[in-house]
Structures are given as structure tokens and as C-alpha cells.
Amino acid sequence: MTKFIKGMDLSTLLELDRCGAKYYDHGKERDILDIMKDYDVDTIRLRLWNDPKSELGEPYGAGSNDLAETIAIGKKVTDAGFGVLLNFHYSDFWADPGKQIKPKAWADYGVEELERAVYDYTLDSLTKVIDAGVNVTMIQVGNELSNGLLWPEGQVPAYDNIAKFVSAGIRACRKVNADIPIMIHLDNGGNNELYVRWFENYIKRGEDFEYIGLSYYPFWHGSLDALEFNMNDIAKRFNKDLIIAEVSMGFTMEDYKDYEKLDDSQRKGYATKPSLVEKIDYPMTIEGQADFTKDFLGRVANVADDHGKGFFWWEPAWIPVPGSGWATPASLKYMNDPGPCGNEWANQALFDYDGNVLPALEVIKDFKK
């Protein structure tokens, strides 16, 4: 039986280091990767953006994960003994259900040109990542594809085009190394209708793949019962292994303004708005985060027919340090987003605002499938 993956998305690793983030385990300062290793984490997920900077060279922020940055993090985590889930966004910045913006270099491409561009870009990037010595153990072709990718050509309900683009990425991955498993990833892990509709449409049209990836954020994506129902249904329906590609849960609703050192006008504030948090299964406290984690892990590990294969906590080390936020003025312009910038994730990390390990990480360490 394959090992139950305990993964972390550490895409901002080098940016946080440059900004002076420090981490502590039982009061002792330690390297973040040493901490992760000791807490039984085995795989690091890394996003890859095509060109996360403006035409003037201004970085988009949030790790600015271009090929060079992602390779640098990949080599660092490989040297520390981790596998790597390489996450292709096929955009110059965040790709999610609310935006799948074509890379600037592909802005005028039609369907056939986009299909070729996905293939060529994936082939070139993956070859360079592996040639650099990064231990790629899984590949994600697209990010949160619930509403498609490379809009408008690949926007739902254009499933023919979606399948063309995703399949081009898969074929390129197979060309580089056919043994690395492929994940296709949607958001909203509690939404069974979404997963049934999307994968029924894709599987009729597209290349085969190994894993269905789900995002599950309890304040956005429904109850743990809804997640459990969906996982069991799609595992049996499609006979696919499942991985929660993104999960997090808050440990506090206390503000971290004093840590960010930004004016209110420059701060996005946390994603976990109080009105969302009222409805979730566990309170956003240190104990609530740990209890949620234990419950969540048990449900993933017990998916029907042993199809629950692991999880990735999203940006567990993104503590509030000055200089590291979800966007910059340049990327706000790229996304046509009103902003502001700042860190909106710090209260969902697996470290407190001062960088101390939280009990939820102990739960992960102790969990056995």
C-alpha cells in the first residue's frame, strides 16, 4: 500500500525567508524544513506561474513563483528529502474558479495555439525542473479547474476545449516521464454536483490521469459531511484515487495588524470573514484547528475502497511578516482587482503569528492511516 501523503504547500518559502520569517519548535528556533521533516511531512507542493511580473519587471508577489523561483525551492526541498508536487497554473498569477487569466504571452492565442502552447510550455518547464534535480513525485495539470482554464476559450461549459488544454499538458508530462502520476484538481470539495458533472464531461474527452484533487476550505466549501459524501461518491463513481490538494483551518480570529506593519488601507485582512466562520464544524481556536485536523484526516483516510491517498495543507508557514502578501500593486493591475494587498492567510497557518508550531501539526505527525 502506498504511503498516505502528508503534504504542505510551501510556495512562498523563499520569499518568507527573504522577509525574515522565523519558526520555533517548543521554543527553539529551527529551519522550517527540519520542522516539517520531524512532523512526518513527506511532500511539498509548489505552484508554477508562467511570468509573474509586469512588462516593467515588477514582481507580482505571493512568492513570485516563476520557473527559476520554483526550481530553487524545489531543489531546496529535494535536498531536504521531500518529494515535490509540481502545480502548473497556466497563468501569470493566481488561477482559481474566479479567474483563469491567459498568460500575457498567450493573450491573443486561439484554441489550437493555446493547445500547442500548453504542450510546449509544460514539456519545457518540466524538463528543466527535473534536469535541475528536483524530485517531482506528482504533477498537477491546472489549478482549481472548476470553471475551466485559459479563459475565455477554456471556460465552462466549453468542455471540448478544456479537455484539449488539460490533455496537452498531460501528454507533455508523459513525454518527459510517464511514471510520474498526474492530478486534475477542482475547488469546492463539498460540491458533489460539480465533481460529477466536471469529471463526466472530462473523462469522455480527455487523457487519463491518476488522481482527482480537491480543495477543501471549511469556511467556503461546506461541512465535513459534505466533503466525505463527495469523496466517497466520486471515488466509487470514477474509480480514482483522491488527494485533498488544498486544505486549511484557522486557529484564531485575532488580528495580526501589528505583525504586518501596514496601514489599514493596505491590508486585505483575513479570508476567514466572521460571517463565514459562524457556519463551520469547529471553532477557529488553537484547539478547534487541532480537532478539525484530526476529524478531517480520518475522513480522507477512510474514503471508500482505500481511495483516500493524502492531503496538502495550503501555505502552513505563511506567517505575517512585512513584505510578503497575496499580491502587489502590479499584480492587482494584471488581475483587474481592487485590492488591497497584505496577508490574508496568517490565521490559517500551522504556526502562530510568532512562528511557533501549533498543536494541529502534532496531530498530523501522530496520524496513522
Please, are residues 32 and 10 in contact by the beta-carbon 8 Å criterion?
yes
What DSSP line would sit under 126-180, residue for residue?
HHHHHHTT--EEEEEESSSGGGBSSBTTTBTT-HHHHHHHHHHHHHHHHHH-TTS
Cβ atoms within 10 Å, residue 203:
15
Residues 6+ apart with CB under 8 A from 79: none
Using alpha carbons, select from 203, 191, 194 the residue that is nearest to residue 239: 203
- For residues 115 and 122, give the distance between their C-alpha atoms in angstroms, rounded to a whole number: 11
What is the three-class DSSP state of 87? strand
- For residues 121 and 291, give the distance between their C-alpha atoms in angstroms, rounded to a whole number: 42
Bridge partners of 30? 23
CATH code, domain with 121: 3.20.20.80
Cβ atoms within 10 Å, residue 331:
26
Residues 6+ apart with CB under 8 A from 330: 53, 54, 56, 58, 59, 60, 61
Measure the CA dihedral 310/314/319/321, to 10°: 140
Cell numbers given for 66: 516563476
Cell numbers given for 283: 471553532
Pairing of strands 23-25, 28-30: antiparallel
Maximum pairwise Cα distance, the chain: 56
Instruction: State the average pLDDT for the chain.
Output: 96
What is the pLDDT averaged over residues 11-27?
97
Pairing of strands 5-9, 308-314: parallel
* 134-190 confidence digits (pLDDT tens): 999 999 999 999 999 999 999 999 999 999 999 999 999 999 999 999 999 999 999
CA distances 91 to 10, 34, 49, 230, Å, are 19, 32, 6, 28
Q: Which of 15, 69, 115, 144 is catalytic?
A: 144
Active-site residue 246, yes or no?
yes
For the cut 70, the answer to whether the pLDDT of residue 87 exceeds it is yes
Q: Helix, strand, coil shares of the chain as percentages rounded to 5?
A: 40, 20, 40
Whole-number pLDDT of residue 267: 79
Q: Which of 246, 260, 315, 344 is catalytic?
A: 246
- Please tell me the least confidently modeled range out of 7-16, 271-280, 337-346: 271-280
Cell numbers given for 305: 475502497
What is the three-class DSSP state of 265? helix
Whole-number pLDDT of residue 39: 98
* 239-272 confidence digits (pLDDT tens): 999 999 999 999 998 988 888 777 777 777 777 7
Q: Is the pTM of this model over 0.95?
A: yes
Residues 6+ apart with CB under 8 A from 119: 168, 169, 171, 172
Only one residue has cell 527535473, namely: 130
Q: Is 132 exposed, middle or buried (0-12, 13-18, 19+ CB in 10 A)?
A: middle
What is the pLDDT averaged over residues 297-309?
97
pLDDT over 70 for what percent of the chain? 100
- For residues 74 and 137, give the distance between their C-alpha atoms in angstroms, rounded to a whole number: 11
* 234-245 confidence digits (pLDDT tens): 999 999 999 999
Per-residue DSSP letter, 101: B
For the cut 70, the answer to whether the pLDDT of residue 1 exceeds it is no
Whole-number pLDDT of residue 270: 74
Bridge partners of 44? 8, 84
Using alpha carbons, select from 255, 317, 354, 348 the residue that is nearest to residue 16: 317
What is the pLDDT averaged over residues 12-17?
97
The tally of domains found in the chain comes to 1
Domain of residue 132, residue span: 5-366
Q: What amino acid occupies position 310?
A: G
Active-site residue 144, yes or no?
yes
Cβ atoms within 10 Å, residue 262:
18
Query: Which phi-psi region, left, alpha or beta, contains residue 310 (left: φ > 0; alpha: ψ -120 to 50)?
Result: left
